[in-house]
Structure 1
Amino acid sequence: MLERFSVADAYLVTVLGGCVATPIDLKKWPALSAYFARLQERPSVAKAFLEERARYAAQQKRKPRA
């Protein structure tokens, strides 16, 4: 959002990452979609997303199926 990565960017990448589990399609907002893509290229953000996806996948395996 600013000239350098800030806490606002960290929070927004978390919120935008939640769009995966919703019907919200960021492609409707090209600037926001591009911003999110740039954030995901940051090594720290990419690492956090990989770790979060692994935790989510493990949690899904533990859930009983209805």
Structure 2
Amino acid sequence: MREQPLCVHCARSGRVQLATVVDHADGNAMNNERSNLQPLCASCHASKTAREDGGFGNPRR
């Protein structure tokens, strides 16, 4: 986040928001390759998580 402090999802929508979470872009928490990590704000991270696996701690549907 030091290198890219803004939320990449917000930036795509023309918004400027500080990132607070480093997200695994492919959803695989075991894939810690630098290219798989992206900075997100808490809101975008929560939305992405809910969209991809039904929310924090819930099994994928």
Structure 2-normalised TM-score? Answer: 0.33
In our comparison, the structure showing a higher alpha carbon Rg is: 1
Q: Which structure exhibits the higher relative contact order, with contacts defined as CA atoms closer than 8 Å and separated by 6 or more residues?
A: 2
Structure 1-normalised TM-score? Answer: 0.32
Structure having the larger proportion of residues in helix: 1
Structure having the larger proportion of residues in strand: 2
